[in-house]
Amino acid sequence: MVHNPHRAHGRPSGQARTSDSKAASPRSGKEGAAPKEESGDRVAKMLARAGVASRREVERLIEAGRVALNGKVLTTPAVKVEAGDILTVDGAVVTEAEPARLFRYHKPIDLVTSHADPQGRPTVFGALPPGLPRLISVGRLDINSEGLLLLTNDGGLARALELPQTGIVRRYRARARGRVTQEKLDTLKNGVTVEGVHYGAVEAHLDKAKEGPQGANLWITVVLAEGKNREVRRVLESLGLKVNRLIRLSYGPFALGTLAPGEIEEVGPRVIREQLAEHIAPGNMPKGDRPLWKAPPAPARGPRRGAVELDRGGVAPGRGGRPGRAPARSRKPPGEEPPKKMEYKAGWAKPKPKAAVHKTAGPKRRPGAKPGGAPKPPRA
């Protein structure tokens, strides 16, 4: 039996709990007031939702002393931000999280998926067009890989789509050199361990094989749901294949489509609500149906040789304003010199002169007379 000192002094247990709560909350204004519940989100979660960086990157920012709360530099991410607190990163105030936005980007090769590269190589975010919000990537593509890269302003959404537990399917097309059979590719469905790292089930299909002098050139479609670092390359290398080109075709319900390398397109809010509602906080759910950002128009090119320029109404200038007609010739203003004859240079084909037409002399006709008819008799 557990000894209760409060019962020994003849006090009800309810009063004892009240006094304990009173002692545990010395900052409470009144006696017997309930303890103040902690509110707010952790600093890493808030900065991730605001699109500043991922949670792991936020921890690095805090370690570097770049994050401050109410003017005090933070040394640990185990801090909660409450309403009215001022959170800054590199001296810039971080505002509340905006509604979640998502972009499809066709990453070309030779770009690093990072905001800044220690080696000074060009980055994905440095190549984006102006006018976009601060974005972070959903996963990564290495510098030699290309294809679909999802970008978002919501760090929580990016984290949810990256986790293997979410089961988001990624589809790739790999070009490799070597020789392999479909039966050997099917063994990847059971998973494989490469240099101590275990990779889950991978579905690979041999699309095309062409024999060459130095081996076979293969095209392989790879489908996986983990997305570990360089997973496709390492898994295929375990079968003796050397991947020399890797293209990501889709990420979950989003496909590369017809995006050209370097192009970016925003996903509409309605599509985000339909496809990703379970991964977005209710307060960050976007509204509306149309994207907020549109790609800037491509730079206008000069008119092609022989092309007809259009007027503001989209109609080619011409007689009667009908499209496709050449502009009418203007009459020569009085006093203008006649155009000079074209001088032909060596190598040009000079036009042949037209043969002269000799007309036979005949009787002169009076005005009104028909050709070939007899002359009218003179009037009396």
- Determine whether 58 is exposed, middle or buried from the number of CB atoms within 10 Å of its CB (0-12, 13-18, 19+): buried
pLDDT tens, residue by residue, 149-158:
999 998 889 9
Task: Read off the pTM.
Answer: 0.64
- The structural architecture, per CATH, of the domain 100-164+261-296 is 2-Layer Sandwich (3.30)
pLDDT of residue 256: 96
Q: At 346, which amino acid appears?
A: A
- The structural architecture, per CATH, of the domain 41-93 is Roll (3.10)
What residues in the chain have per-residue pLDDT under 70? 1-39, 213-214, 298-380
Query: Class for domain 169-251, per CATH?
Result: alpha beta
Written as six digits, the tokens of 363 are 């009787």
Domain boundaries, the chain: 41-93, 100-164+261-296, 169-251
pLDDT of residue 30: 45
Catalytic residues, by residue number, are: 142
pLDDT of residue 345: 56
Same fold, 41-93 and 169-251: no
